[in-house]
Every structure is written in C-alpha cells, then in structure tokens.
Structure 1
C-alpha cells in the first residue's frame, strides 16, 4: 500500500552479486632478506609518503629479527634444533619409516677346494679307521662335517656366506669384487693347524692323508695364490679378512698378512705390529657344552663355584695351579682337572648348569672357550685374567654379565669365595637376566647371532678413523701395554715412560 496522493515508489532493483576474487596466496617471506619485508610494507602502505615514526618502527623490527636469526644467537640455535627434530620426527613417523641400513657387502674369494673342504677331508682321513680313509676322499662336500671344535667360527662364517645373496641383509655376498666392502679369505686355518694328530694316523697307507699334510706348506701356497689376485695387490690386503682363531693359526705368514683384518680370539701370541684392537676383531669361541634351556633361577644351582679344565698351563695360565690349591678344599666349590673328551664335556655341562658362578682363569693365552660355555649355561663368569680382551665390547657391557677379579686378589686364600658368598640371590638373577639378553652373540647357530656382528665390526674397523685402545666395559690400563702404530692411519704411539708403566701396574693390581 502507498499513501494517498503520493505516487507509488519504484521497486529497487536486486543487487548483482559478484563473487569475490579468490584470495591471493600470502607473499612468501624470506626472513633472511629484508627486501621482502620492505616490499610487503610498501604494498600495505597508502600511496602517500609514510611517516618517519612508521619507518623507525619498521627498522627496529628488522634489527630485532636479524638479532634472533643470527647464527651465534641461542634462540637461532634452538630454532634450528627444533626444526631438525621436527624433520627427524616426521621422517621417523609410521607414515615414512626410515630406510634400513645398507648391508655389509662381502666378496668371498673362490679359493681352491684344498683350502676349505680339503682341510676337513684331511682331518677326517687322519682319524678314520684303517681302510676307510680313501672313502673320506670321495665324500661329497655337502656330506662333510666340520669336527666339533672350539675354533669352528671359520666354518660358520664360510657356510653363512655360501647361503647369502647380493640382496641379503644385514650381510650380503656379492659376486662382483668391485661392489665389495670387504674380501674374505675362507681358509680353515685353525683346523689346518691340527690336521696331523698327536698319535700317528692309523690309515697312513693312503697317499693323501694326514701323514703327508703340511700346514706350513698350505699357508705358503695360500699366500702365493693371493698375491696373484689383483684385489689383494690393490691395497696390499688392507680390505681383506682372515680368520685365525687358534693362537698359532697362520703363524708362518702372519707378518705378510698383518695389513689385513684378522679375526682372532685374543692377542696372547701376537706382537703389537702383527695385530691390535686398531684393526682386528675379537671373536667368541664356539661353546663346547650344551646351552641351558631353562629360565633364570638359583634354586637348581646348589654349587657356588665350578671349574673343570687343565690345571697346569704356561705363562699367565700358571694362576690355575694357585687357584686349585686355594679352592679344592672349599665347601660348595667344584674344581676339577679334566682333559678334552666327550665324558668331560658331559661332566662340565652338569657342573655349569648346577652352579651359580663359573671360574674363568687365564690359560696359555688370556681367553678360552670356558667363558662362553659359562655364558650359554647362565652361570655367571668369574674372570681371573688380567689381559683378556672380549668380543663385541661396544655392544655388550661385560660388567653386567660377569665379575672381574684381579689375579693378585684372586690368589689370596678365602678372598674369592667370601666375595661370591656376599652376592645375594637377587643380584645373581640380575646377572642371569642380562646374560639372556646377549646370549645370542655367543651362539653361532643363531641366525641373528655372532656372524652378523663379526661382519659389522670388521666393516667398522675398515673405516675406523682412530685408535680406541680399551673396551667400553673395562676402562683399565694394561701393564706394559705397547699400543702399536699402524701405517694405515698414520698413528704413532710412543712407548710409555717407566713411571707411567709403574702406575699402570699398581692400578691393575
């Protein structure tokens, strides 16, 4: 309705709705370039000249920004760390899992069979009954059995590489030597050393058996073969790996392979210019008794301390006779003289599986397989060996799985047993739990056992930038230690002064 006397109003036209333009993306700021801030400010200002106050405020803001982003500024450092941790968190999120580490690539030299399976054949033939030695000569490779031996790591490494391919992880065997990180020489050096038995072979009529076997000749022939290989000559063998676990293995040619990475049990019979922790890897012995399959506990272990082995040894092993005299009449302690035999291993299995602690004194060299027999038995090792080096000390804290006792204290009457009796049951259980966590490192039959760790350590040695003379677990000086210089890294370690030597002796005792 409209009012009388007034013309009606025309209806308003509907407004035309024009959709707004899409928002332009915000300008990208380069916080390190002040020109971008000035350009943004210029676009935001009206066309008239800006006031001096506004320009002053803008200059102050820029100065503050530069102060915060200065490389020496703590705030900038925190910002960088925050961004880095954010990136690391994003890369490690389930949506983007981290790539697995590259495998250790091993090229295994294709040695003539006499250096591998041939050694096993000769060993078997030397101990075969009369008339059966020739049968061992024609036995297929897959039917050959490496003899039970504390130095059988050479067999486990060889068989493990035979089954691996170029795509395996964490260790891969490559067919092209140009792809290799390391070159393995699979000579059975420890078995070769004992092919000839102490007693004359019963099958000496066979033309090829142990009576004609010469370990020294085999070592010489091996080096002659290697020195014809281009990859050996390329770096003088520095990227090659030999296993010589027996203390006397490869003794004839050890000076000619001292540049290579040696896999050894210890350095007891090696000079410092032949082997050292700079360039070599300590291996665990193969345990000779059955692993304990039960759980942790002390109820089934009535014996306090157990030892079974040769009482009379040379050099550092003389401590054994002293320990026998002190311990053989102690209550709940079993200490027996025993030689290697099947029955001795059965008795040792029973003794270790029923004891809380197992004694590991030094032998002819600082280490022996008895330590690893104890570990797979969940029997806490008591190590009386001042110069021992242990395998994989960068990943295993041996102070959590064993007890170290200095020789000078261990031979004091009553010291060892009184110390062990003060260890309560809960502490023994803690030792056993820790042993179970690392037990696989001492069982060569475990697919994730020591073989993978050996190759990881060998590769680490190859790229090691400097010398680390002591293990992680036992930061103690070695009396009289002359740490070697090794030309591969150009290291030079001066002999210790007499005063330093005396200080080391006091600390070690």
Structure 2
C-alpha cells in the first residue's frame, strides 16, 4: 500500500474515524447551535458506519493508478487540494474526483445528524465510489467491472441489516464523483466496455446517487455541480470576490476555455475554434478589444491551475460551454465564478442536469442557448447571435450569474456562520436529496 503524505494522513484518519462515533463527535466545529437552522424536523441524517476499505483505504492508495493520475496532491485541506499560493484563503487546486471527500467532510458538520438510524429521514453512505472505480477503470480489476458495488451491498445487508431493509435502500444516498456513464456498463456485456456496472446493479436501484452528470432516464441519479477551485471560508471573502467579478472590465465578447476541436470530423468545438481563428484579430466592435479568445486547455493543463483560465474569464462577457466526451463541463461553474454568461449548445449540458441548483425556468435569465446543429451544419455564427444581445441585457444576465454563484460553489469546511446564511451547492444537494427520499416514500406507500 502506498502511503499518502504524512501531513494529510492524520487529518483523514481523524475525520473518518470520527464519523463512526456519536452524534456529538460528528459535529466537529459546531459545538454551539447553528442559528441558521430553525429545526431538524424531516432533516435528520444518519451516517452509516462503513469499514475503512470503502473510504480511508482508498485515499491511502492515492498513487497506485499510474494510467490515471497520482491524486495524492489533491488530498490536502480535506480534499480541497493545495492552495494556489501560500497566502490564499479561498483558492485551491481542487480535483473533481475529490468531491466525495469534500462532501463527506461537510457532512460531518451537518447540524441534523443522528447516531440513531431509526430517527433518520435519510442515511448517508460515506463510500468513495468514484475513487474505488479507479481500480476497475485503470487498475488490477479492469476485467471485473461488473463486481463494482457488490462488496458494499453485501456489507449493508449483513451488518445491521435492519437499517437497509426498513426501506429497501430508498432512504440511502451516496456521492459518485464521476459522470453516471462511468458506472453504467451493462451487466454481462462481453467484451466489457468503458465503465463499471455499479448503477446497473438491481441491488442499488433504490439508492439516490449524486453524480457529476446524470443520464436522462434513471430515477436514482441526480447531477450536482462539479467542485470549482473557489472555496471561501467566510461571507467577507465571498462578497469580496463577487465585487471583483462585477467590476471586472469585459474586453472580450466571448471566450472558450477547453481542449479538442482539432479533428476533421465536424463538431461544435471545431466550429468554435474555426470561428475564433477566422475573425479579424484587429477588429473591434461595440467596445470589445477582442471578439473571441481561446484558452487552450488541452491535455488537462488547466484542471488544477485556476489562474490560467480565471483571468481570461473575468475579461469576457460570454463563456462558451460546448459538450465534449460528455455533455457537462466543470468550466460551466468556473464561468459563474467569473460572472461570465454561459453559452450552452445542448440542454444536457446543464438545463436537464442541475435542476436543484439552477432552476430550469431561470436559464433564459442567466445563459444563452444556441443549438449546436445550427452552428455545425447550418453555418450559424455564434458571434452574430451574441452581438445581437443588447449590452443592457448582457449586464442583467451577468448580475443573475453572480446572484446564483453561491448556489454552485462548495464553501470551505468550518466556514463562518455568516457564510452559512447563503446556501451553497452542498446545502442544496442535501435538501434536494431529503425531499426526493420523502417523495419516494410516499410513492412506495401507495404502490
């Protein structure tokens, strides 16, 4: 077993071991009552006790997947990663895979935890499914991907089976820090295709799975925002950043930060790159010094370096969010940080995904939608669409983006009480999960 850095290991042990103790120990930093919580009626959550092989041991093996990456550098600060610079309070080199760790750390501060599962409205499984999937996707169990999750199910039904059996798993939920497609290999598929079969196992059909990207049809999946690199510890730091984004001078009309678009096959990323390369670089229009800018993030060079893309985003009015290997992008949430109006090219990129965090009826107020088929096959110019939006309208959309920003970020653990008055991505995900479980109980009762 490969050890993770010594500076990280004690903290991880402390947090995960405390999750097996009493309700009082679970509340790490909230020894005083949280004034933002009116009561815990219908909000009680029990954290299921799991053996370390389902969480701690997975973190301890952080460098054993050479084909994937050594994710040890992203474990410090309870999964937020290393600070972007020593004096930073809010900015970290966060990896999306760490959402399971980040979410678990925040669950330990949740104000309505109970050690008694009989009193719980929901049961949280602190299982790091996306990290455990690495051994099936890149590691020694690549040919046994249909087994992913069976060990967990065996434990749940054998260890205090009453907890699972009372609602047949309907009240259980977990976080999976990868797109649902990575857990959707059909059972019995020969030869095996990409992914594991966790979400195809009938044993977990009743469990709510919070994923980075959900498929359109399964009941059990719900997409929650990708973690960005911004994790403010207090309301003052959040408001300071919002002021900076609001006053930033927008010298570029539109920006694309990403990779791809170089293949000969027609696709939206290729169309974006072609359009940006073909416009007159010396041309200025309506006060913009640049009409289009591209930040090349090929080969993951931007993933853990927010400075590389955040500065250009702060200077752009619109941030293009074309689909890639899958419809969703972490960059969508980075654009919220910058006050850069997102431009979507298909509904599955956000509108059909993050309904808890970004209400569907509000998309016309904070984003632009351009069907990718119109651009790729019918010659519609993105620049023409965006230039046709009045400046006053763009300003209103930017304000709505900044207003929604707190809903899509994950604030830092042990943050100030003032910041807790603003619901963040974690708060909204937990509320949505509780409501979904409550609704499902009603449906099952009448079946």
The two structures have a TM-score, normalised by structure 1, of 0.58
1:299–1:182 Cα change, 3 Å:
closer
Q: 5 Å matches for 1:30-109? A: 102=41, 104-109=43-48
Is residue 120 of structure 2 the alignment partner of residue 156 of structure 1?
no
Find 1:113's aligned residue among 52, 61, 71: 52
Alpha-carbon deviation of 1:487? 7.5
Alpha-carbon deviation of 1:242? 2.1
Figure out how many residues of one structure are paired with residues of the other and give that number.
Answer: 341
Which residue is equivalent to 1:284?
225
Find 1:377's aligned residue among 320, 338, 342: 338
Is residue 139 of structure 2 the alignment partner of residue 219 of structure 1?
no
2:320–2:344 contact (8 Å) kept in structure 1: yes
The CA RMSD over aligned residues, in Å, is 3.8
Find 1:246's aligned residue among 153, 178, 199: 178
Q: 5 Å matches for 1:324-473? A: 324-330=273-279, 331=281, 332-337=291-296, 338-341=298-301, 345-388=306-349, 389-393=352-356, 396=359, 397-411=362-376, 412-445=378-411, 447=420, 448-464=423-439
Q: Which has the higher contact order (CA 8 A, sep 6+)?
A: 2
1:241–1:261 contact (8 Å) kept in structure 2: yes
1:360–1:384 contact (8 Å) kept in structure 2: yes
* Local SS of the residue matching 1:264: strand
Could you tell me which runs of 5 or more consecutive residues in structure 2 were left unpaired when the two chains were aligned.
1-36, 82-93, 185-195, 232-237, 282-290, 413-419
Could you tell me which runs of 5 or more consecutive residues in structure 1 were left unpaired when the two chains were aligned.
1-97, 199-209, 468-485, 491-509
117-126 vs 378-387, which moves further = 117-126
Larger radius of gyration: 1
1:406–1:158 Cα change, 3 Å:
same
1:358–1:374 contact (8 Å) kept in structure 2: yes
1:99–1:442 Cα change, 3 Å:
closer
1:163-220 deviation line (CA, Å, top 9, x unaligned) = 34xxx2xxx111000011111111111223346897xxxxxxxxxxx76899946633
Find 2:212's aligned residue among 244, 252, 265: 265
Which residue is equivalent to 2:34?
none
1:453-492 deviation line (CA, Å, top 9, x unaligned) = 111111111233799xxxxxxxxxxxxxxxxxx98875xx
* Local SS of the residue matching 2:273: helix
Which residue is equivalent to 2:193?
none
1:160–1:197 Cα change, 3 Å:
same
The two structures have a TM-score, normalised by structure 2, of 0.66
